[in-house]
Chain A
Amino acid sequence: MEFTFDNNVPIYIQLLEYMKIYLISGVFKCGEKLPSVREFAGTFKVNPNTMQKALAELESMNLIYTERTNGKYVTSDAVLIEKLKDEYAMALAKSYFQGMKRIGLGKADSIKYLERIED
């Protein structure tokens, strides 16, 4: 997969978003050991220092933790990941409704459109 970055937004914030999606979607599961900073930097093709900063941010949100000398792990707190997923989904939903509102459609109409989407 090719990762694209918008130069107008701090790179570590964009990395943080990618990482959150990884955690929410279960690419890395609760309690799982994460690849090293260098491996992540190689995957995203970013500076290892920037990657480190994004991971430090995830750690300060308690989504991952460092086991001394052993590397980084995803939190074993499944509730926390669920909460992250809920917040993320809510933000996407809000952004959809805002878009619909701009073209004059209310909530009921917006839901009708959602129902018309085939899986």
Chain B
Amino acid sequence: MELLKVKNLTKSFDNKLILEDINLSISSGKIIGLLGKNGAGKTTLIKLINDLLTPDTGEILINGNKIGVETKKVISYLPERTYLNKQMKVSEVINYFEDFYDNFDPGKAKRLLKDLDLNINQKLSKMSKGMQEKVQLVLVMSRNADLYILDEPLGGVDPATRDYILDTILSNFNENAGVIISTHLISDIERILDEVIFIDKGKIALQSDADKLRNKEKASIDEIFRRMFKC
């Protein structure tokens, strides 16, 4: 069963074409890297999948369902920027998520926060940017979702935390779920990817199995990407 299907998707802002005729198919049980330069259209595509934008033309299906209330229940989304109220304590945010999502596992969230040495009685506003990002990722990964969409999850974190985050993603996804990670920091995450999607100037330039691509090009995904999209 296809987890995500995107058909002939087009989106423009102010007559400027941001995404042009996007076609994609993603199956469960995989970690997919959505890779592109700044401004390639990654976040726009992700926002469309999350029903935060409306497409001009085309269709998006999750488990065969059109985007809407039902699909929002099964997508756990980490946006590029935080939307949490910074005056809240972490424990309050956990309660908030528990109220909001049926599939949120507060026990898991608390366990992961403890692993990361984060204090649940601290206010978000008193935490560093990196700490806030960790909290947000923990919340997103603590939902039992079908599709996790992580938009630039490694933006502001140090290398040690980056490894922890990648391990958290690896150990928390299951064969019934899929993960889409958007990033321009390819070398940091490529080792955990099953598949890569290159997006450039609003178009899908390539979709491939990561190891097959390495084998074919005898290079890392990062290197292949750089060669393809040299400035």
Interface residues of A (CB under 8 A from B): 5, 7-13, 41-42, 45-50, 53
Residues of A within 8 Å of B98, CB to CB, are: none
A47 touches B192 (CB 8 A): yes
By size class, the interface of chain B is 20 to 34
Contact B194 A45 (CB under 8 A): no
Give a binary string over B158-198; 1 marks a CB under 8 Å from any A CB, 0 the rest: 00000100110011000100000000000100111110000
A5 with B191: CB separation less than 8 A: yes
- Rounded to whole Å, the gap between the CB of B104 and the closest CB of chain A is 23
Q: Is the interface of B mostly helix, strand, loop or mixed?
A: helix
Most chain B C-beta atoms within 10 Å of own C-beta, residue among A8, A12, A47, A48: A47
Sampled A-B contacts (17; CB under 8 Å): A7-B214, A7-B221, A7-B222, A8-B214, A8-B219, A9-B214, A10-B211, A10-B212, A10-B215, A12-B211, A45-B170, A46-B192, A47-B31, A47-B170, A47-B192, A47-B193, A48-B175
B194 & A50 in contact (Cβ 8 Å cutoff): yes
Given contacts A7-B190, A47-B192, is CB(A53)–CB(B211) below 8 Å?
yes
- Is B194 a contact partner of A8 (Cβ separation < 8 A)? no
Enumerate the 7 nearest inter-chain pairs by beta-carbon distance, A residue then B residue, closest first: A7-B220, A10-B211, A8-B220, A10-B214, A10-B215, A47-B192, A49-B194
- Out of B29, B170, B218, name the residue touching A8 (CB < 8 Å): B218
Tell me if A46 and B191 are in contact (CB < 8 A).
Answer: yes
Q: How far is the CA of A53 from the CA of B211 in the complex (A)?
A: 10
CA of A5 to CA of B214, assembled, Å: 13
Chain B residues with Cβ below 8 Å from A10 are 211-212, 214-215
B193: chain A residues within 8 A (beta carbon) = 47
